[in-house]
Homo-oligomer: A and B are copies of this chain.
Amino acid sequence: MDVTAGPRHRGPEDCRGVSTILARIGDKWSMLVVMLLGDGPRRFNEIKRMVGGISQRMLTLTLRGLERDGLVTRTVFPTIPPRVDYELTDLGRSLWQPVEALGNWAFAHLPEIEAARTKFDGKD
């Protein structure tokens, strides 16, 4: 599908299909992890540090979810201490593009949004 094409109408069924994916990547941490892994493979604790604020449990669950969806691969090195690398699959890298675009949008418009919030909260 050509994602560069203009708007195309879709029905509610498609909306819900999209919703399924959105629920996955739209959760609290998945997009951040995907953005992070865009630079290459990372180890568990490396990701944990880079994301910042995520609990061990949630990182595990997030990575499992991404792995389940075929977005990242999990590679275990049977060393002592153990080492596990996570890396974007081809599918993951294809997701990385729109995710990064969204991230860049968020980063670029953060001030605008915060201003809008302040204005909205202030009036009345």
Whether B9 and A67, one on each chain, are in contact in the complex, defined by CB atoms closer than 8 angstroms, is: no
Chain B residues with CB under 8 Å of A68's CB are: 116-117, 120-121
In the assembled complex, the Cα of A3 lies from the Cα of B12 at a distance in Å of 30
Contact A108 B28, beta carbon cutoff 8 Å: no
Question: Which residues of A7-24 have CB atoms within 8 Å of chain B's CB atoms?
Answer: 7, 9-10, 12, 14-24
Chain B, residue nearest A100 (CB): B7
A50 at the interface (CB under 8 A from B): yes
State the A residues within 8 Å of B (CB): 1, 3, 7, 9-10, 12, 14-28, 31-32, 35-36, 38-39, 49-53, 67-71, 91, 94-95, 97-110, 112-113, 115-117, 119-121
